[in-house]
């Protein structure tokens, strides 16, 4: 079944990714596109509607990104959010001013009527939501008058035009952010807009599986063979299960033990995945090769590229071992949509960091890539995995970066440092499991600050040891995250055990940074 598409135009803020995710929660497919994309290219994707996202600019500032030229002549329904809302106001004849009063964070919003008077027409976009509700604001400029033909459908004490609509043209706009959880009725508002735009809720797990299986068969063909780089994480496991569904025993999974996994993970990968799928698994012990290649390398981007290169070389060697290399020309990877977005892949967004599956591949790659999860967010991947019959031990596994512990060591990677981090990480995971917290946190990276030492006292003597950083986070899709408020007694046990049992560590610290501004991994 052909699905409807929503394009989310990115104006340079983190909100575009969250908007796209919320749209998919309404079972409508969404894609992020840069604000510089010509309208003709947008229309070539046959969008059912277009959403203009928030952004950091002022609409009247020199160099501020404009609304895509010709957008409002296309007849496509449009929703403007925050900066996108102000672009609509300014482009269509309304007024945006710097009033000297900004709104940031939770704000009381009055739906219906003008200038905060409840009781007027709340409009179609806000239908079914309360006359007064909490919304999340983040703006310094203010819409003071709506364009001709628009009805003002909501306001705040500081913003006379906080929501507006022109239903005959299916143009809608809100100053607040309906996509964030702090807007109490944001999801119903987005769902209203999608209904008004005529979007069908057909983006379902079964639809995803059927579409991807068909696409994989078309790409690989009737006789093609593929190998999949199995990492032990949910992404590569689900990607492999999808490809197996498409081509059967013409897929061989290759597990490269690069020596950068956590304690006990290599054995767990072999046991869990083979038991769940029956796929032939070819194990490559490449720990010494990876460690030699990473010798004295401390730059995180260089680490990622080296690891990506060595993965591919290991796959090529494995392909030759399994069968003639010209018979195995496809490489399956578990690349996700957040990986693509953060790497600047095709969206016009900033390159935050290279992801192993996106930015770490060598230029002379001898395989054609098969990336069945490239358009999916993490929770969608888990849903697909469950529908394919993968067990919870795989589907619910906490995310773990492809480059493994190498990017959780701030500094160069050595066998000794890997041992220290493995032991500390194992203690953290054991204590979180014992406390029943595995389902409450999304993941807990444990970071070794290898090039930093601090003075301590252990056994009545002076020590000069390494700090360990705990990074427990909650998230839905890796685009945004908040630090997990772990119980103090759990933190105390973790700290005591690490400093008692891992002799090279004399200090344990807690990272309490959200994303943004900090990424989930330190490197």
Catalytic residue numbers?
82, 177, 179
The torsion angles phi and psi of 135, rounded to 5 degrees, stand at -125, 165
Question: End-to-end alpha-carbon separation of the chain, Å?
Answer: 41
Q: If we measure between CA atoms, which residue out of 474, 420, 427, 482 comes closest to residue 449?
A: 420
Q: If we measure between CA atoms, which residue out of 271, 266, 242, 511 comes closest to residue 404?
A: 266
The β-bridge partners of 60 are none
Residues 6+ positions from 204 with CB-CB distance below 8 Å = 27
Task: Please name the helix (run of DSSP H) or strand (run of DSSP E) that holds residue 93, with its range, or none.
Answer: none
Fill in the DSSP letter of residue 336.
-
- Dist CA 477 CA 502 (whole Å): 33
Task: Please name the helix (run of DSSP H) or strand (run of DSSP E) that holds residue 181, with its range, or none.
Answer: none
DSSP 430-467: HHHHHTT-TTT-SB--EEEETT--EEEEETTEEEEEEE
Output the CA torsion sign for 122, 123, 129, 133: negative
Report the SS3 class of residue 277: helix
Extract the tokens encoding 259: 């020596």
Extract the tokens encoding 254: 């290759």
- Dist CA 523 CA 238 (whole Å): 25
Residues 6+ positions from 29 with CB-CB distance below 8 Å = 3, 4, 5, 6, 23, 203
Q: If we measure between CA atoms, which residue out of 253, 237, 250, 241 comes closest to residue 212?
A: 241
Q: What is the radius of gyration, based on Cα positions, of the chain? A: 25
| Contact between 331 and 367 (Cβ < 8 Å) | yes
Q: If we measure between CA atoms, which residue out of 225, 360, 249 comes closest to residue 294?
A: 360
The β-bridge partners of 80 are 52, 173
For the chain, give me the number of helices (H) and strands (E)?
Answer: 15, 23
β-pair type (461-470, 78-81): unpaired
């Amino acid at each position: 079944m052909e699905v409807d598409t929503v394009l989310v135009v990115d104006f340079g803020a983190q909100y575009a990714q969250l908007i796209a995710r919320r749209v998919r929660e309404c079972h409508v497919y969404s894609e992020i596109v840069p604000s510089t994309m010509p309208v003709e290219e947008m229309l070539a994707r046959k969008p059912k509607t277009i959403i203009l996202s928030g952004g950091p600019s002022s609409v009247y500032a020199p160099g501020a990104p404009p609304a895509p030229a010709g957008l409002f002549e296309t007849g496509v329904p449009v929703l403007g959010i925050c900066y996108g809302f102000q672009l609509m106001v300014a482009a269509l004849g309304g007024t945006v001013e710097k009033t000297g009063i900004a709104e940031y964070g939770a704000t009381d919003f009055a739906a219906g009527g003008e200038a905060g008077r409840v009781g007027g027409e709340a409009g179609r976009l806000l239908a079914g939501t309360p006359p007064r509700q909490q919304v999340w604001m983040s703006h310094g400029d203010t819409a003071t008058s709506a364009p001709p033909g628009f009805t003002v459908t909501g306001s705040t004490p500081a913003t006379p035009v906080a929501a507006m609509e022109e239903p005959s043209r299916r143009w809608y706009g809100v100053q607040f952010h309906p996509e964030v959880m702090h807007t109490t009725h944001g999801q119903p508002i987005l769902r209203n807009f999608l209904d008004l735009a005529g979007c069908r809720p057909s983006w379902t797990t079964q639809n995803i599986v059927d579409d991807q299986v068909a696409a994989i068969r078309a790409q690989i063909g009737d006789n093609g063979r593929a190998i999949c780089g199995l990492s032990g994480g949910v992404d590569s496991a689900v990607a492999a299960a999808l490809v197996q569904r498409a081509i059967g025993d013409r897929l061989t999974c290759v597990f490269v033990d690069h020596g950068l996994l956590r304690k006990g993970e290599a054995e767990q990968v072999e046991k869990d995945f083979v038991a769940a799928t029956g796929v032939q698994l070819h194990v490559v012990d490449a720990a010494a090769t990876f460690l030699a290649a990473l010798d004295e390398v401390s730059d995180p981007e260089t680490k990622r590229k080296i690891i990506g290169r060595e993965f591919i070389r290991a796959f090529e060697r494995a392909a030759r071992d399994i069968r003639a290399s010209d018979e195995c020309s496809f490489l399956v990877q578990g690349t996700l949509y957040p990986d693509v977005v953060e790497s600047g892949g095709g969206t016009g967004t900033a390159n935050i960091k290279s992801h192993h599956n996106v930015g770490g591949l060598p230029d002379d790659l001898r395989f054609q890539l098969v990336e069945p999860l490239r358009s999916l967010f993490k929770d969608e991947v888990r849903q697909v995995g469950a529908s394919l019959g993968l067990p919870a031990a795989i589907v619910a596994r906490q995310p773990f970066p492809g480059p493994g512990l190498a990017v959780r060591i701030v500094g160069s990677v050595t066998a000794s440092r890997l041992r220290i981090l493995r032991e500390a990480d194992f203690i953290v995971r054991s204590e979180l499991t014992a406390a029943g917290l595995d389902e409450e946190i999304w993941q807990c990276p444990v970071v070794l600050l290898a090039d930093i030492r601090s003075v301590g006292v252990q056994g009545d003597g002076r020590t000069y040891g390494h700090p360990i950083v705990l990074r427990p986070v909650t998230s839905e899709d890796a685009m945004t995250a908040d630090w997990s408020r772990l119980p103090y007694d759990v933190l105390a046990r973790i700290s005591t055990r690490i400093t008692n049992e891992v002799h090279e560590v004399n200090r344990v610290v807690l990272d309490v940074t959200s994303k943004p501004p900090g990424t989930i991994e330190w490197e």
